[in-house]
Amino acid sequence: MEELENKIIEVLKTIYDPEIPVDIFELGLIYEVNIDDDKNVEIVMTLTSPNCPVAESLPKEVEDKVGEIEGITTAKVAVVFDPPWDKDMMSEVAQLELGLL
């Protein structure tokens, strides 16, 4: 399962928030990656704001790209706004890229 989770994270790092030039994983938008015994994946994520212009398309992109990984049965995304995202959730990599460190 760890290998599969690493593949999922690799794919998540190829998906970018169109308003910020950093991938959604490093931005801290991914809260959880859950994989059950049947290799169904649920990703719990948030958006930078509830009014995000890609509120519909970004979760769908995550589902589609993760669902294409060999061995995954299904991929579903749950979008949550609690806790709300803030810039402190970004990785050091993201903060460096955006000049915040």
Domains for the chain: give ranges and CATH numbers. Answer: 2-85 (3.30.300.130)
Q: What is the pLDDT of residue 61?
A: 97
Average pLDDT in the chain: 94
**pTM above 0.95?**
no
- The answer to whether residue 45 scores a pLDDT higher than 90 is yes
Give the pLDDT mean for 36-56.
Answer: 92
Nearest-Å Rg of the Cα atoms of the chain is: 13
Cβ(67)–Cβ(77) below 8 Å: no
State the SS3 of the chain: CHHHHHHHHHHHCCCECCCCCCECCCCCCEEEEEECCCCEEEEEECCCCCCCCCCCHHHHHHHHHHHCCCCCCEEEEEECCCCCCCHHHCCHHHHHHCCCC
